[in-house]
């Protein structure tokens, strides 16, 4: 999305995770690379849940960054391990892939429920996703996407979950990236997904609404309404991007005023130093150097319109094959360390 997007970070992962004893195959489109074949035991990293009153979201005890900490410890790289621990000890989004989505959603929500926390899930499988960029793909067609959402809903059941719905999907209807012939179907699919997920007992849904750098709220508020924002719990901003929390709050408040005062959540995972301003404007979002981790996840935002700061993008995983990075979604150790050291 011309220099202000960043969701290309999430394609192409393969991961294997045991979620509190539940075997779970995780493959596909999100922000984990699945480099789970290294040395070390995730239990060695010894992460614990954050205080529920300020951060009710689940820290996956077998998450990729947890396993990376264990690997570094096993290699005797204690200083690096402690830097990556800054990532491992925070809850991050679990990106549901198209392969076995019901099992994934069930595993993550069961794991979170056992820890008395809420699972943070991300759906990123809309047809014609990412406009032929680093994370291109998505469901084969509308029926396949509806089946995907239905499977996720079955997996969640009555367990607590917060869902970030389709990063960039509405934005790409506005910026000219998604061809016109797919617009009506996309509105229908997003609206249907909101209805399906909101029909669950303990699920919150935030429809993605871009970021502070792409344009202005006047361009997107009507598309958000057509996609069903009125029936969602709110919207998300800055997913996989680097705009500061202050910029994101200002953008979110302007947009909220145009969509019935809906609250919003902000992805603060990598915005500690704000956006990158050098190089090709079309790829400033892609693995920019000199960035840092942002505010840690919390619901204690001191702003009634901001429901939470979240780490939706998983820090340390590549945005794509740019600036020397690996494929989108794969773990990039040097970049992870840079983020952690910069915070």
| Beta carbons of 16 and 25 less than 8 angstroms apart | yes
**Least confident residue range of 14-18, 57-61, 119-123:** 14-18
Q: What are the residues whose beta carbons fall under 8 Å from the beta carbon of 278, sequence distance 6 or more?
A: 284
Instruction: Give the active site residue among 33, 62, 168, 175.
Output: 168
Check residue 338 and report its DSSP letter: H
3-state secondary structure 230-260: HHCCEEEECCCCCCCHHHHHHHHHHHHCCCC
Decide which of 1.20.1560.10, 1.10.10.10, 3.20.20.40, 1.10.760.10 is the CATH code for 7-342.
3.20.20.40
| Burial class (CB within 10 angstroms; exposed 0-12, middle 13-18, buried 19+) of 235 | buried
Q: How does DSSP assign 32-73, residue by residue? A: ----TTSSS-HHHH---PPPTTT--B---TT-HHHHHHHHHH
Tell me if residue 319 is catalytic. yes
Determine which one of 33, 35, 62, 319 is catalytic.
Answer: 319
pLDDT in tens, 292-306: 999 999 999 999 999
Q: Is the pLDDT of residue 197 over 80?
A: yes
Q: Say if residues 114 and 95 touch (Cβ distance below 8 Å).
A: no
| Catalytic site residue from 130, 233, 267, 307 | 130
pLDDT at 41: 53
Distance separating alpha carbons of residues 29 and 12, to the nearest angstrom: 5
Count CA atoms within 13 Å of residue 124 on its CB side: 34
Q: What is the pLDDT of residues 98-139, one digit of tens each?
A: 999 999 999 999 999 999 999 999 999 999 997 756 566 799
Average pLDDT over residues 138-151: 97
The number of residues making up the chain comes to 343
Is the pTM value of this prediction over 0.85? yes
- The stretch 140-146 carries a mean pLDDT of 97
Place of tokens 């797919």: 182
Query: Any catalytic annotation for residue 130?
Result: yes
178: Cα separation from own chain's centroid: 21
Q: Shortest CA distance to 247 belongs to which of 217, 271, 284, 212?
A: 212
Q: What are phi and psi of 6, to 5 degrees?
A: -170, 5
Number of helices (H) and strands (E), helices first, in the chain? 10, 9
**Quick one: pLDDT at residue 24?**
36
More confident residue, 202 or 47: 202
Is the distance from CB of 297 to CB of 303 less than 8 angstroms? no
Active-site residue, 303 included: no
């Amino acid at each position: 999305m011309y220099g202000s997007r960043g969701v290309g970070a999430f394609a192409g992962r393969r991961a294997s995770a045991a979620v509190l004893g539940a075997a779970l195959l995780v493959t596909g489109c999100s922000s984990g690379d699945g480099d789970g074949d290294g040395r070390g035991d995730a239990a060695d990293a010894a992460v614990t849940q954050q205080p529920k009153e300020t951060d009710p979201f689940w820290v996956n005890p077998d998450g990729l960054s947890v396993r990376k900490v264990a690997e570094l410890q096993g290699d005797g790289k204690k200083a690096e391990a402690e830097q990556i621990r800054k990532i491992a000890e925070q809850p991050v989004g679990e990106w549901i892939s198209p392969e076995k989505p019901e099992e994934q959603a069930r595993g993550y929500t069961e794991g979170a429920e056992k820890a008395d926390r809420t699972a943070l899930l991300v759906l990123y499988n809309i047809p014609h996703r990412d406009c032929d960029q680093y994370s291109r793909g998505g469901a084969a067609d509308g029926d396949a996407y509806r089946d995907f959402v239905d499977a996720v809903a079955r997996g969640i059941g009555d367990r607590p979950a917060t869902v970030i719905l389709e990063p960039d999907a509405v934005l790409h209807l506005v910026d000219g990236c998604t061809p016109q012939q797919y617009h009506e179907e996309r509105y229908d699919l997003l609206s249907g997904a909101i209805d399906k997920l909101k029909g669950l007992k303990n699920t919150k849904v935030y429809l993605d609404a871009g970021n502070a750098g792409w344009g202005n709220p006047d361009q997107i508020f009507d598309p958000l309404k057509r996609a069903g924002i009125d029936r969602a719990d709110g919207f998300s901003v800055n997913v996989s991007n680097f705009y500061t929390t202050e910029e994101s709050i200002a953008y979110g408040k302007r947009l909220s005023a145009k969509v019935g005062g809906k609250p919003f959540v902000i992805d603060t995972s990598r915005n500690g130093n704000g956006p990158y301003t050098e190089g090709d404007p079309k790829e400033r979002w892609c693995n920019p150097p000199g960035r840092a981790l942002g505010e840690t996840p919390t619901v204690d935002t001191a702003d009634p319109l901001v429901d939470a700061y979240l780490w939706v993008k998983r820090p340390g995983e590549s945005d794509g094959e740019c600036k020397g990075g690996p494929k989108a979604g794969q773990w990039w150790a040097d970049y992870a360390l840079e983020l952690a050291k910069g915070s």
